[in-house]
Amino acid sequence: MKRFILESAAIVQVELIKLIRDPTELISRAVQPVLWLVIFGQVLAQVRGIHTGQTSYLAFITPGILAQSILFSGIFYGIAIIWERDLGVVQKLLASPARRISLVFGKAVAAGFRGIVQAVVIYIIALIMHVSVRLDPLVIIAVLGSVMLGSGIFATFSLIIACIVKTRERFMGIGQLLTMPMFFSSNAIYPLEIMPGWLRVLAQINPLTYLIDALRGLVITGGENIYGYSVDFGVMLGVFLVLLLIAVRLYPTLAE
Amino acid sequence: MNTNAPHNPDKFAIKTLKLTRKFGNLTAVDHLELQVPYHEIFGLLGSNGAGKSTLIKMLTTLLTPTSGSAEIGGFDIIKSPGEVRRHIGYVPQMLSADGALTGYENLLLLARLYGLKRTERSIRIDDALNFMGLTDSAHNLVKTYSGGMVRRLELAQAMLHRPAILFLDEPTIGLDPLARHMVWDRLLLLRREYGMTVLITTHDMEEAEVLCSKLAILLAGQISVVGTPAELRAGLGKDATMDDVFAQYAGDLAHSGGSFSDVAQTRRTAQRLG
């Protein structure tokens, strides 16, 4: 266990150093949520066509857009893995005695820190737009936990896809193919109640829905948490563990 | 001997038994039998597609054999891959050092993955930097390094845990003659100072002749000939060169040249080395 933590920490540290040294990607990823909140959110808030209970539409989609940016930055994590494979980094790591699970888990945690940066950006936009966000420390810790877990899920899922497709070109195609359907088949920008039955079924098997449900209760004042936090976190934790086990099996095939 | 010593020094550093790997209908490595004694710098030659990369991947536990077995430092690659990894160092053909990190950070990552203790880590890292002549540029980003420096940094990474056996896939590809000689010097010194066994693949006949104490030429996934460079040349007559040896044992040139992806990868590496 001690070695697992030390090895994972080594991977996380390297990723963080690189992130701090070259934050270009993070900055460019911050543009999209700004567009969604400032333009889409504000315009649709005028329509008042979607019932969002006690909260304003803009407040309603704020956790949704946070989850979306976690999904988008997580799901393209696999590109970096394929790049590392082309450079021989994966081969070198796999020929070292480090446990496979440490290598994969380290990547997931590093993705979590990227997710936290996204969360900070969204909180800043939300505050500027006068969305009433909850700022008490325990809630913030729970938000950070959800963001880490959500990022870990999508980054690990992305790593699995990278292990299967193995080339950047194919990955780009599949990445595009997955993100928008996952986003639209979730409760990010409209509530579950107004979805047609078939879409609601899809939403219920989409892990993004549970991330958003948790965030909706935690991030905004008066936000409604439908499934309950234990269900949300239980589902996310379960999905993460399953994906982690699959990724540990598949990651070594990248070096073949 | 200062290496992370294997428990039975009488055995071979590398020993394969009918080692075979198939990809669909293609047999890349075919019942291959190879014995590499300790402390050799052993060169593996062969045309592209002869099976060198597949062999090295199996020996470094990156690829599972279809059948047969191999022992590295006395450890079975299938039964105890973890032990094998603890006793080897590996430098892939591609430039695998991370350009966005400093030389020191690159070394620190590997030192931590090898489980070296904190106090030991800094000593080993300084030692490796010094050994490879990189102390002055330790805190510069690797993307500012020359190709030769990157290679030496990768060797430094591979020697941190004092492995008994080093695997190097075309270590001097794309390097200028000066940088190439510097890499050779360090490899010879690694063997002398730490008693390491080195297995390299190469297409460079000068490298094979100058650096390697023993050579094996691969042909269609099998060993076509083994011997010292001098023995191999002498076997073909008085004036034979290493090129003649290669032409004689590496097989039908008309069909060699490797797959598209092999050649593309080699070119990419050479390009990045500038």
Q: pLDDT per residue over A100-114, tens digit each?
A: 999 999 999 999 999
For position B48, what pLDDT does the model report?
86
So what's the pLDDT on residue A175? 87
- Given a cut of 80, is residue B269 above it in pLDDT? no
A 2-61 residues inside an 8 A Cβ radius of B: 3, 6-7, 9-11, 13-14, 17-18, 21-22
Preferred mutation among A92, A100, A163, A168 to probe B, highest tally of B CBs within 10 A: A92
Q: Which of B132, B140, B77 is nearest to B106 (CA)?
A: B140
d(CA B188, CA B169): 16
Taking CB atoms and an 8 Å cutoff, what residues of chain A touch B110? 92, 96
Q: How far is A74 from chain B (nearest CA, A)?
A: 21
> What phi and psi, each to the nearest 5 degrees, are found at residue B64?
-85, 135
pLDDT digits (tens, 9 = 90+) for A137-190: 999 999 999 999 999 999 999 999 999 999 999 999 898 888 999 999 999 999
Q: What is the mean pLDDT of chain A?
A: 93
**B79 has pLDDT over 70:** yes
> Could you tell me if A196 lies within 8 Å of chain B, comparing CB atoms?
no
DSSP A220: B
pLDDT exceeds cutoff 70 at A248: yes
Domain count, chain B: 1
Taking CB atoms and an 8 Å cutoff, what residues of chain A touch B88? 95
Q: Concatenated DSSP letters for B136-203? A: GGTTSBGGGS-HHHHHHHHHHHHHTT--SEEEEESTTTT--HHHHHHHHHHHHHHHHHH--EEEEE-S
Q: Domain range for residue B156? A: 14-272
Put simply, the answer to whether B109 touches A98 (Cβ < 8 Å) is no
Q: Is B138 part of a structural domain of the chain?
A: yes
Interface test with A, best of B80, B112, B144, B166 (most A CBs within 10 A): B112
Q: Do A95 and B115 touch (CB under 8 A)?
A: no
Query: Per the CB < 8 Å rule, is A88 touching B85?
Result: no
Beta strands (DSSP E) in chain B are 14-23, 26-36, 41-46, 67-72, 75-76, 88-91, 165-169, 197-201, 214-219, 222-227
pLDDT for position A59: 92
Confidence of residue B8 (pLDDT cuts 50, 70, 90): low
**In a domain? residue B26:** yes
pLDDT surpassing 60 at residue B113: yes
Q: Average pLDDT, stretch B89-96?
A: 92
Asked if pLDDT for residue A40 goes beyond 70, the answer is: yes
State the total domains in chain A.
Answer: 1
Task: Look at residue B83 and tell me if it is in a domain.
Answer: yes
pLDDT tops 60 at residue B2: no
In this prediction, residues B188-209 reach a mean pLDDT of 93
Residue B217 lies in a domain: yes
- For the stretch B40-54, pLDDT in tens is 999 999 998 899 999
pLDDT tens by residue, A204-222: 999 999 999 999 999 999 8
Any B CB within 8 A of A97 CB: yes
Question: Which pLDDT band holds residue B1 (cuts at 50, 70, 90)?
Answer: very low
Identify whether B205 is part of a domain. Answer: yes
- Asked if the interface predicted TM-score (ipTM) of this complex is over 0.90, the answer is no
- The size of the A-B interface in CB pairs under 8 A is 77
Q: Is B140 on the interface with A (CB under 8 A)?
A: no
Q: B27 pairs with which residues across the strands?
A: B22
Q: Residue A22: its pLDDT value, please?
A: 86
Q: Give the model's pLDDT for residue B35.
A: 95
Residue A96 belongs to domain spanning: 2-47+54-255
Quote the pTM value: 0.90
Residue B8 inside a domain? The answer is: no
Q: At what angle do helices B103-113 and A2-21 cross, to 10 degrees?
A: 160
Q: Which residues are paired to B86 by β-bridges?
A: none
Q: Looking at chain A, how many residues does it have?
A: 256
Cα–Cα nearest to A80, from B69, B98, B216: B98
pLDDT score, position A85: 93
In a domain, B210, yes or no: yes
**d(C-alpha B223, C-alpha A63), whole Å:** 62
B268: domain CATH number is 3.40.50.300
Q: Which of A91, A168, A249 should one mutate to test binding to chain B, selecting the residue with the greatest count of B CBs within 10 A?
A: A91
CA dist list (Å): A14 to A25, A97, A107, A152, B105 = 16, 18, 10, 17, 8
Contact A91, B62 (CB under 8 A): yes
* Three-state secondary structure call for residue A127: helix
> Residue B85: what pLDDT?
96
Chain B residues in contact with A93 (beta carbon < 8 A): 113
pLDDT at A44: 84
